[in-house]
Structure 1
Amino acid sequence: MHFFYCLSLLAASALAQYLVESSSFGQNEKISLNNYALPGWHITGDGGQVPQLMSDKVILTPPYPGNQRGAVWADARVSQSEWVAQFEFRATGPERGGGNLQLWYAKDGPTSVGTSSMYTAGYFDGFVLVIDPYGGKGGGIRGFMNDGSLDYKNYHSVDSLAFGHCDYSYRNLGRPSKLQIRQEGTTFEVIIDDKLCISTDKIRMPPDYHFGITAASAETPDSFETYKFMLFTSKSITREEPKRPQEPVAEQPQIHVNTPPDTPSS
């Protein structure tokens, strides 16, 4: 079983070779050249603070004070229908710290979701992966879907809507966690630290949605940081090509044909 799953991961990495730079950050040594902007992404926050942009990470919620919200959303929509998203994050805090982290793929996410968590988002159209202490086992990862018809904020039992989950103790690991979402063919998978978390053939997300990351801290806060988000596409679909200047068309030489003079008619 483990052998075949490793083959599956190798197949995924073989297919996902082309980086979509407009929807990625962290692929280079520095995610920002000036610590003020994240190229291709919009940064926003609530609670009186905006996420802090460092050279190698974004601090979505600070260690102090609590009850903060932060978000980053890709400006570009995803034009491809098959992709692999790689996300690195870290959560640190005191023994009883709390909060949640979300990875979104949502239609009009910057406006319909903004800085919301899964619990406060209301109506949205898309997918969200939630990382929080739910379940009392040190933390977990759960997947949720909405077609825009459900008000998650006021739903009587929103936790019951999860289509998949796995236990994952994500707090105070001393290193970033590495999460991957893969949508290729009929497969939709969530992989955490090279271990399968969720796998289903019942989900197929459409193109033209935005990727986004949101975090919310509790009164005793966890600090959520993101180091990297990279979006890849496979060989089987059109990828972004660098724009190259058009080469000037060489002027074609004119060809003159000498014709004999008209002969007088007899």
Structure 2
Amino acid sequence: MKVFSILAITSCLLQACSAGIWGSNKKDPIQAEENLPLAPTFKFDYKLSFKKNFYYNETVPFWTTGGDVLKSDDFIRLSPSVPNTKGYIWSDIPNPYESWEVEVAFKVSGNSMHGGRGLAFWYAKENHEPGPVFGAKDKWDGLSVWLDSANPVTHKPTTMVLLNDGTLAFAAGTDPTKHTLGTCSISYRNSENPAYLRVSYKDTTLTVSMDNGSGGKDYRTCVQKSGIKLPTGYYFGISAASHSPADDHDIISFETKQLNPPQKLEHPSRPLEDEKKKRGEEFTGIDEEQKKAKAEFQMRKLRDTEDYGGEVAVNLATIYDTQRRAIEHIQILQLQIEALGAPTPEDAIGGNYKVLDLSKLSAGAGTAANSGSGPDPTAEIQRIAQEITKESQKNMQQIERIAAEQNLKMKDIQSALVQLEGTLSTLDKRSLAQSNMMHSKMNEVNMRSAETKGTMSSFLKYIFYAFLAQFLFGIAAYLYWKLRVERNDKKFV
């Protein structure tokens, strides 16, 4: 029974090492690969987008430009700073998505105090048609977002969101403020960095947001409206127009994303799956050797990658190699035990084996020893069992040692992270203290400047009063002298 108990322990160790329970509690990466991936939140559509580098064979792929467009390597200038110029860029492919998001990076710059018209975003039924509304067609059918830099009322950049069913003619005098879904005033003209316009449509909710210079990291909601119905199959576009004074209207990028795309229903192709399907064979999965080869390839790739060439990757590779050698050694011992007639691990777990009667074996061994026919088989089995026990203990000690070293290294990493957090908190406190000090100094400077201004004003008042007193005193002396002289003249006469 001792032999079979050692065999059971060995098989458990083999399965435990194969499952990777000595390293961490994470899932098997090979098994995780076979699970379906999580559905992404968006999918980028390169055909409905353009950015640097813009041109291929002197054109923007899947887009059409027209009007007074100037081509550059860093931007597309729809309308230059020349009065009465206009231009546009329209997508050649209709939008097939029910939920979408568009992000436009642009710059509007000019030398005058007020803007010279502006640009507009379009999601319309018809494309490639110029017109009087920011360089595009009037009486359009669809959505438009106007970025008006020359609002005649406020003289500030104004963003307006409008829907048109093809009947409203704004160029003929229709007041757009009576038909807007919403407006906002966010300054974007002459910004140092490109400004961003983001238009998203999801679940009949239209949201228009703007970022006026932080690189698309600080969006402010301009208009959000529910119950909006925008059909698929319309075209995206951007147009611009310059009046007098004129501005430069530059488009840096135009990126379109599908929101909440459907999840793929098929598994990604696994190794050798396509080859077996071509031969007409059924693919049931990869065997143990292929899994092992794939794991070794991933570890070699991990060791060769510069991004994972640090100490943690080296330690993981060492642990993996040690566990692999331990498993190979246990497999060799298992084969040796099976060669002596022991059942396989599957038979031992399933109970498909016969219990060896050691009393008969001992009796047979004694008879064989008395007869002198050969060596004692019981002693040989005990010797093999002792060797297996010693090897198992060595492997257990080695695995425990590696686990302890890994725990120490993890503790070192955690302590380093704690120290880093402490350093960062100290830096934050110092920066906060310096900021408070700067504020206090600025307040003192302001107070001193206010006191100085008050002193100067009092001094000027004193001077003014002194001059006024001298002036009055001079007039009084003059009048007194004049009256005295006139009296003396009269007396003399």
What's the TM-score once normalised by structure 1's chain length?
Answer: 0.76
Q: Comparing both chains, which one has the higher relative contact order based on Cα–Cα distances under 8 Å and sequence gaps of 6 or more?
A: 1
Partner amino acid, structure 2, of 1:39: P
The count of corresponding residues between Structure 1 and Structure 2 is: 223
Say if 2:104 and 2:254, in contact at 8 Å, map to a contact too.
yes
Say if 1:121 and 1:152, in contact at 8 Å, map to a contact too.
no
Residue 115 of structure 1 and its aligned partner are, at CA, apart by 4.8
Instruction: Say whether residues 1:84 and 2:101 are aligned partners.
Output: yes
Residue 151 of structure 1 and its aligned partner are, at CA, apart by 2.3
- Correspondence for 1:22: 47
Instruction: Say whether residues 1:184 and 2:221 are aligned partners.
Output: no
Instruction: Say whether residues 1:219 and 2:244 are aligned partners.
Output: yes
Structure 1 residues 238 and 125, CA gap change in structure 2 (3 angstroms): farther
Distance in structure 1 (CA, Å) of the matches to 2:258 and 2:232: 12
Structure 1 runs not aligned, ≥5 long: 1-13, 240-246, 254-266
- Correspondence for 1:250: 278
Distance in structure 2 (CA, Å) of the matches to 1:24 and 1:120: 20
- Correspondence for 1:121: 137
Structure 1 residues 252 and 127, CA gap change in structure 2 (3 angstroms): closer
Residue 155 of structure 1 and its aligned partner are, at CA, apart by 4.1
Specify the SS of the correspondent of 1:101: strand
Distance in structure 1 (CA, Å) of the matches to 2:136 and 2:259: 34
Partner amino acid, structure 1, of 2:84: N
Structure 2 runs not aligned, ≥5 long: 1-38, 212-218, 265-273, 282-493
Higher helix share: 2
Identity of aligned residues (%): 25
Residue 236 of structure 1 and its aligned partner are, at CA, apart by 3.7
Specify the SS of the correspondent of 2:162: strand
Distance in structure 2 (CA, Å) of the matches to 1:127 and 1:138: 23
| Residues 1-266 of structure 1 mapped to structure 2, 5 A cutoff | 16-26=41-51, 29-33=52-56, 36-45=58-67, 50-63=68-81, 65-95=82-112, 96-111=114-129, 114-117=130-133, 121-132=137-148, 133-134=150-151, 135-193=153-211, 194-237=219-262, 250=278
Structure 1 residues 16 and 212, CA gap change in structure 2 (3 angstroms): farther
Say if 1:83 and 1:231, in contact at 8 Å, map to a contact too.
yes
Distance in structure 2 (CA, Å) of the matches to 1:238 and 1:72: 32
What's the TM-score once normalised by structure 2's chain length?
Answer: 0.42
* Root-mean-square deviation (Å): 2.5
Distance in structure 1 (CA, Å) of the matches to 2:236 and 2:136: 18
Distance in structure 2 (CA, Å) of the matches to 1:145 and 1:238: 32
- The structure with the larger Rg is 2
Structure 1 residues 16 and 214, CA gap change in structure 2 (3 angstroms): farther
Specify the SS of the correspondent of 2:233: coil
- Correspondence for 1:7: none
